Amino acid sequence: MHQTLDAKKRLLLRAAQCIRDCLLQAQTQSDQIQLPHQYWTECQTALQRIRVAQRRGWHYAAATLTESLRYPLGQCLERLNDLYRQHTLASPSPPIATARDIFHDLESVAEEFDDLTIDLSEPVLFLDLLP
């Protein structure tokens, strides 16, 4: 009986950790930020061309390339400002319950209902409430 109880608690603990991992993964996926890589790359390329033109003494070409830098630089700045506003104005994500708290909740459910089935190979908890 003691081993069965320990095995049940271990299963509940593993399930609690799996649930917490899923919640954390869902939260981090919703918080992913997409940086404006394309515009940043365009800015870097334009700067390299400007430096080459300056080294060779091609002042008109350097000035023209400097003008062409405005668009990708402006787009990059605009996207970063949008991201900053979204990030600072967004309400913070609610805290994720600890594995310990989830374990205690699962333990309470298991004590109240005998027919709790946990399948760790699938993200499923099954509770049969039918008489």
Tell me the pLDDT tens digit for each residue of 7-41.
Answer: 888 888 888 898 888 888 877 655 567 888 999 99
Identify the domain containing residue 22 by its residue range: 1-31+95-131
39 with 88, same domain? Answer: yes
99 with 110, same domain? Answer: yes
Give pLDDT, residue 22: 82
Per-residue pLDDT for 116 more than 50?
Answer: yes
11 with 48, same domain? Answer: no
56 with 7, same domain? Answer: no
102 with 65, same domain? Answer: no
Count of all residues that appear for the chain in the document: 131
63 with 101, same domain? Answer: no
Give pLDDT, residue 1: 45
* Distance of alpha carbon 53 from alpha carbon 55, whole angstroms: 6
85 with 117, same domain? Answer: no
pTM score > 0.85 for this model?
Answer: no
Q: Name the token pair of 75.
A: 């787009």
43 with 87, same domain? Answer: yes
* Distance of alpha carbon 102 from alpha carbon 98, whole angstroms: 6
